[in-house]
């Protein structure tokens, strides 16, 4: 009898913790729908969903050109028949460069907005609009309240939101990735990829490259895990 009471009490504590986490992250929704894998087993295995789930927000920090190439390689296989919206302040992705990663530039629509608040507004509105394969926005910083709104907008439209930012502030995004270019053999683009933060997962780092023949990511090496303050957010 005592054991049953203890088990019930433990279950109650766990449920309270889950409710608190849901309030802190801005959403209690369980993501069980469409998932978009990286098609690299080690990266996908590190994610509780086996890829990036629809109806969610994800962040990328690091070297901007590296992020552009990495995203192009990933997005080439995400909902191939749908358009991609890229919201930026000034940068225009180089179409032949995107094509080298398998991404058809005809899928891409560029939206320019100089003010950060305008880019955030456009990002949120687009995430609520069904039909996009993904929506990317470049915003130097966004606070916890703003990222909660973006996460809820992604859930509403079942969208895939990718926020490219410079800082690593507290956020409601499901994952945060750091992407930087690494010198390779000169034939295959190579990146240092770190999963800094993952809701329900653990930080991890890899050295990956892009195989032009198969148009897929390929693991070069698993890097030593780093103790990251962001993982404790």
Residue 114 lies in a domain: yes
Q: What is the DSSP annotation of 139-181?
A: -S---HHHHHHHHHHHHHHT-EEEEE-S-------SEEEEEEE
pTM of the model: 0.81
* More confident: 33 or 6: 33
Residue 13 lies in a domain: no
* More confident: 10 or 223: 223
Q: Is 220 exposed, middle or buried (0-12, 13-18, 19+ CB in 10 A)?
A: middle
Residue 8 lies in a domain: no
Residue 123 lies in a domain: yes
Most distant CA pair in the chain: distance in Å?
69
The fraction of the chain above a pLDDT of 70, given in percent, is 81
Q: Is 30 helix (H, G, I), strand (E, B) or coil?
A: coil
In this structure, the number of other CB atoms found within 10 A of the CB of residue 205 comes to 18
Residue corresponding to tokens 């019930």 = 8
* More confident: 103 or 23: 103
* Alpha-carbon dihedral angle through residues 52, 57, 62, 64, given to the nearest 10 degrees: 100
Domain that holds residue 91: 38-232
* pLDDT at site 169: 84
Residue 181 lies in a domain: yes
Rg (CA), the chain: 18
Domain count, the chain: 1
Q: How far apart are CA 49 and CA 29, in angstroms?
A: 13
Contact assessment for residue 169 and residue 146, using Cβ atoms and an 8 Å cutoff:
no
Q: How far apart are CA 73 and CA 95, in angstroms?
A: 13
Residue 124 lies in a domain: yes
Residue 4 lies in a domain: no
Q: Is 97 helix (H, G, I), strand (E, B) or coil?
A: helix
- Tell me, what CATH number does 202's domain have? 3.40.50.300
Q: Rounded to a whole number, what is the distance in angstroms from the first to the last CA of the chain?
A: 38
In this structure, the number of other CB atoms found within 10 A of the CB of residue 213 comes to 6
Q: How far apart are CA 217 and CA 72, in angstroms?
A: 11
> Helix %, strand %, coil % for the chain, to 5?
35, 25, 40
List pLDDT tens digits, range 15-73.
443 444 344 334 444 444 699 999 999 999 999 999 999 999 999 999 988 999 999 99
Residue 6 lies in a domain: no
Q: How far apart are CA 72 and CA 55, in angstroms?
A: 20
Structure tokens at 54: 């629809």
The fraction of the chain above a pLDDT of 90, given in percent, is 64
């Amino acid at each position: 009898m005592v054991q049953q009471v203890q088990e019930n009490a433990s279950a109650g504590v766990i449920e309270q913790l889950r409710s608190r986490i849901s309030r802190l992250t801005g959403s209690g929704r369980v993501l069980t729908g469409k998932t978009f894998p990286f098609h690299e087993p080690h990266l996908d295995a590190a994610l509780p969903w086996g890829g990036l789930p629809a109806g969610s927000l994800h962040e990328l920090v690091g070297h901007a050109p590296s992020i552009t190439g990495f995203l192009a390689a990933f997005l080439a296989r995400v909902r191939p028949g749908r358009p991609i919206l890229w919201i930026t302040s000034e940068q225009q992705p180089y179409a032949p460069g995107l094509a080298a990663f398998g991404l058809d530039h005809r899928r891409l629509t560029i939206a320019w907005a100089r003010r950060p608040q305008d880019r955030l507004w456009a990002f949120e509105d687009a995430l609520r609009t069904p039909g996009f394969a993904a929506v990317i926005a470049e915003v130097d910083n966004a606070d916890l309240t703003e990222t909660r709104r973006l996460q809820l907008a992604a859930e509403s439209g079942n969208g895939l939101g990718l926020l490219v930012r410079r800082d690593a502030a507290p956020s409601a995004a499901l994952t945060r990735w750091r992407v930087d270019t690494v010198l390779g053999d000169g034939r295959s683009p190579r990146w240092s990829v770190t999963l800094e933060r993952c809701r329900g997962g653990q930080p991890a780092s890899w050295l990956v490259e892009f195989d032009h023949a198969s148009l897929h990511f390929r693991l070069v090496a698993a890097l030593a895990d780093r103790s990251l303050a962001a993982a404790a957010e």
